[in-house]
A and B are shown apart, each in its own frame.
Chain A
């Protein structure tokens, strides 16, 4: 499958919304992981892939009002059992590289690492209770993450062995893990002698993990997915000591106790996705969430989505953001007619029932006009968030997804043109932000990328 294939089928300008839908689970919006400071943009690297023997080159420049332009470069290659990716650019949060290839009777990976063992209790981020799994950890993630830098080696699938050494969250870690069909046993340790063993089980859609730290504190999580006729139910349970912190990613350790129930299936009026979750970080710091989303597809690639959510309590162990009661909803419609694609979305959250006591609200429209391989996209959003609240607007750029952190009140417009140039594709984008608290801010991006088959691939060698 090529990178183009894994892109959302609906190509129109509200692609940000499409990604939002594709990447979220159980009626949850995209939001940055816990380690991202509140109010900062978050940049993610979509986990698309190249075809065998393909090379991708890309150069980009961007700038904003009152600052010097910055440049980015990227190269990717996949073929002959080797894949490599290098990104370079001043201030680029995705800068870095990774190379992966067959060696030493296994697969060696050097550079950016984002592994996930079992349910991520020790390594790879425990999922937040309202998600089935983190979006940027492990081989199946929607985005390529970066939990550490180092080298890893793995061998075998059902019966296998893996080892890694790298720097994770400012400390050097060493890990070894062995798999025997459904069972995996691993140990992660640092230089100071901290050790965390992990025992994981995976049978079909049933997974579990039990982990300990050097003081004997434990944490366990299990997940079970079962079909119920035309429906699918999912249950996730987590329990353990409050003091247990993941050695690999302590910030992403999540709540010590959690119970999540999910249900998805077809109804006469559309696909329903429901979720209910309870969690507790420590006594007095707990939360709950309920989400319902109905998705109805119509003829001609037209989709209507209606959602409702309610949340109580804290979502973080030491919440930087205000917690408490939140209730909200969203309505989204998108469709395509000939060369024209349109998407509309409105989402609102409030401190009181029925969305009153507004905390966050955003209304967005996107359109794309396509002529052959060229296209013109326009996306416009009007937003408002109350004091202390940040809302994140997803924006799909040429090689990344950015969750744009917005506060206060304002409007954001993005105009993007895509044209075929020099055997590749040029994307020119202009972003205009008008916020009530400050004068207009203009950003621009110019990006050229090209994918081609390598000479060896063309020659069959």
Chain B
């Protein structure tokens, strides 16, 4: 196995080379970020992506695709399944990103507990490139694992606070994106929701000055919509969701002044709203 094959970060770097270093701070989501508003966690995908379990129990399943920055060669396809029994939440997901000779596969597991007033969860994501044969004795660096956690709590009537540290520890090959601590707060007034998120971005200029996301959503039935604005650089996006019984279809677009648009579309069953 060549070193080029074993280091996933180099593979992604080939793709990211066209995007420039700014891409590393433009995208804070990875494979399991579906077309959902940043708050609240609606399905097991949130547990897998952020470590934030959703309040609704039962079974849920979602499948979605993401086309990053309008690049057809950088598409992520994801399936996530979840189960909730009483306060326990479990999630399992798999995704593939990129072309067969330049992409990677991710397997995610999440576990946590949640109720109406709070929840906490842990996530484990393992990645390996798509061209290496599967072997249990794969050399170090052929695969990468990241472990993270998240927590949310009801701070008051209609007020939620949360924190997510999706990469508390990484082992093996570096993940495609470095994600640090994010802290958020949301106000919920019936079907109207508004949120503010602050993300630490170590390793780049301005570093812990942080980046901020503000968003608002109207999550009614059968339709819902949300809008988000981010800084550094100033950019935004929106999304819509249509529901019918336990099923929902959703899509979102987020634009970047340099990198272009990222599209997400998916279908889900179960979960919250």
Interface string of A114-128 (1 = CB under 8 A from B): 000000000000000
Q: Given A298-B156, A302-B156, A384-B208, A333–B181 Cβ distance below 8 Å?
A: no
A380 contacts B165, C-beta separation under 8 Å: yes
User: Could you tell me how many residues of chain B have their Cβ less than 8 Å away from some Cβ of chain A?
Assistant: 28
Which chain B residues border A378 with CB–CB below 8 Å? 149, 168
Interface string of A345-387 (1 = CB under 8 A from B): 0101000000000100111010101000000001011111000
Does any Cβ of B come within 8 Å of A91's Cβ? Answer: no
Does any Cβ of A come within 8 Å of B151's Cβ? Answer: yes
- Complex interface: stretch among B3-11, B99-107, B199-207, B220-228: B199-207
Interface string of B124-159 (1 = CB under 8 A from A): 000000000000000000000000010101111000
Does any Cβ of B come within 8 Å of A176's Cβ? Answer: no
User: Among A358, A362, A365, which residue has its beta carbon within 8 angstroms of that of B151?
Assistant: A365
Instruction: Tell me, rounded to whole Å, the shortest Cβ–Cβ distance linking B226 to chain A.
Output: 24
Does any Cβ of B come within 8 Å of A432's Cβ? Answer: yes
Which chain A residues border B153 with CB–CB below 8 Å? 335, 337, 340, 342
B181 contacts A409, C-beta separation under 8 Å: no
CA A333 to CA B159, docked complex, whole Å: 12
B155 contacts A333, C-beta separation under 8 Å: yes
CA A243 to CA B120, docked complex, whole Å: 57
Does any Cβ of B come within 8 Å of A410's Cβ? Answer: yes
Does any Cβ of B come within 8 Å of A454's Cβ? Answer: no
CA A363 to CA B154, docked complex, whole Å: 20
Instruction: Tell me, rounded to whole Å, the shortest Cβ–Cβ distance linking B6 to chain A.
Output: 19
Instruction: Tell me, rounded to whole Å, the shortest Cβ–Cβ distance linking A353 to chain B.
Output: 15
Instruction: Tell me, rounded to whole Å, the shortest Cβ–Cβ distance linking B95 to chain A.
Output: 25
Q: Which residue of A lies closest to B165 (CB)?
A: A380
B168 contacts A344, C-beta separation under 8 Å: no
Which chain A residues border B117 with CB–CB below 8 Å? 337-338
Does any Cβ of A come within 8 Å of B88's Cβ? Answer: no
CA A338 to CA B153, docked complex, whole Å: 10
B168 contacts A432, C-beta separation under 8 Å: yes
Which chain A residues border B25 with CB–CB below 8 Å? none
CA A413 to CA B117, docked complex, whole Å: 25
Q: Which residue of B lies closest to A304 (CB)?
A: B155
User: Among A337, A346, A382, which residue has its beta carbon within 8 angstroms of that of B118?
Assistant: A337
A409 contacts B203, C-beta separation under 8 Å: yes
Does any Cβ of B come within 8 Å of A162's Cβ? Answer: no
Does any Cβ of A come within 8 Å of B12's Cβ? Answer: no
B202 contacts A410, C-beta separation under 8 Å: yes
B149 contacts A363, C-beta separation under 8 Å: no
Instruction: Tell me, rounded to whole Å, the shortest Cβ–Cβ distance linking B155 to chain A.
Output: 6
B 78-123 contacts with A by CB, 8 A: 113, 115, 117-120
Instruction: Tell me, rounded to whole Å, the shortest Cβ–Cβ distance linking B260 to chain A.
Output: 29
Which chain A residues border B168 with CB–CB below 8 Å? 378, 380, 413, 432
Instruction: Tell me, rounded to whole Å, the shortest Cβ–Cβ distance linking A389 to chain B.
Output: 13
Q: Given A298-B156, A413-B168, A436–B203 Cβ distance below 8 Å?
A: yes
Does any Cβ of A come within 8 Å of B209's Cβ? Answer: yes
Which chain A residues border B256 with CB–CB below 8 Å? none
A 425-449 contacts with B by CB, 8 A: 432, 436
Q: Which residue of B lies closest to A385 (CB)?
A: B208
Instruction: Tell me, rounded to whole Å, the shortest Cβ–Cβ distance linking B212 to chain A.
Output: 12
Q: Given A340-B120, A346-B183, A382–B200 Cβ distance below 8 Å?
A: yes
Q: Which residue of A lies closest to B206 (CB)?
A: A358
A 156-186 contacts with B by CB, 8 A: none
User: Could you tell me how many residues of chain A have their Cβ less than 8 Å away from some Cβ of chain B?
Assistant: 30
Which chain B residues border A363 with CB–CB below 8 Å? 181, 183, 198, 200, 208, 210
B156 contacts A344, C-beta separation under 8 Å: no
User: Among B113, B163, B203, B209, which residue has its beta carbon within 8 angstroms of that of A344?
Assistant: B163
A382 contacts B208, C-beta separation under 8 Å: yes
Q: Which residue of B lies closest to A413 (CB)?
A: B168
User: Among A337, A346, A369, which residue has its beta carbon within 8 angstroms of that of B198?
Assistant: A346
A411 contacts B181, C-beta separation under 8 Å: yes
CA A346 to CA B202, docked complex, whole Å: 15
Q: Given A342-B153, A436-B203, A365–B163 Cβ distance below 8 Å?
A: yes
User: Among B155, B163, B183, B200, which residue has its beta carbon within 8 angstroms of that of A302?
Assistant: B155
Q: Given A302-B156, A380-B181, A409–B202 Cβ distance below 8 Å?
A: yes
A342 contacts B118, C-beta separation under 8 Å: yes
CA A348 to CA B210, docked complex, whole Å: 11
Which chain B residues border A302 with CB–CB below 8 Å? 155-156
Interface string of B172-189 (1 = CB under 8 A from A): 000000001101000000
Which chain B residues border A346 with CB–CB below 8 Å? 183, 198
User: Among A335, A365, A382, which residue has its beta carbon within 8 angstroms of that of B202?
Assistant: A382
Interface string of A246-282 (1 = CB under 8 A from B): 0000000000000000000000000000000000000
Instruction: Tell me, rounded to whole Å, the shortest Cβ–Cβ distance linking A417 to chain B.
Output: 14
Which chain A residues border B154 with CB–CB below 8 Å? 337
Instruction: Tell me, rounded to whole Å, the shortest Cβ–Cβ distance linking B198 to chain A.
Output: 7
B200 contacts A333, C-beta separation under 8 Å: no
CA A382 to CA B183, docked complex, whole Å: 11
Does any Cβ of A come within 8 Å of B161's Cβ? Answer: yes
Instruction: Tell me, rounded to whole Å, the shortest Cβ–Cβ distance linking B179 to chain A.
Output: 11
Which chain A residues border B151 with CB–CB below 8 Å? 340, 342, 365, 367
User: Among B115, B181, B203, which residue has its beta carbon within 8 angstroms of that of A365?
Assistant: B181
Instruction: Tell me, rounded to whole Å, the shortest Cβ–Cβ distance linking B57 to chain A.
Output: 16
27 contacts between A and B (CB under 8 A): A335-B155, A338-B118, A340-B119, A340-B151, A342-B118, A342-B120, A344-B163, A346-B198, A358-B207, A358-B209, A363-B200, A365-B151, A365-B181, A365-B183, A367-B149, A369-B113, A380-B165, A382-B180, A384-B207, A409-B202, A409-B203, A411-B181, A411-B202, A413-B168, A413-B169, A436-B202, A436-B203
Given contacts A342-B163, A363-B183, 19 further A-B contacts (CB under 8 A): A333-B155, A337-B115, A338-B115, A340-B151, A342-B153, A342-B161, A348-B208, A358-B208, A358-B209, A362-B208, A363-B181, A363-B208, A367-B149, A378-B168, A380-B165, A384-B202, A384-B208, A411-B202, A413-B169
List the interface of chain A (C-beta within 8 A of B): 298, 302, 333, 335, 337-338, 340, 342, 344, 346, 348, 358, 361-363, 365, 367, 369, 378, 380-384, 409-411, 413, 432, 436
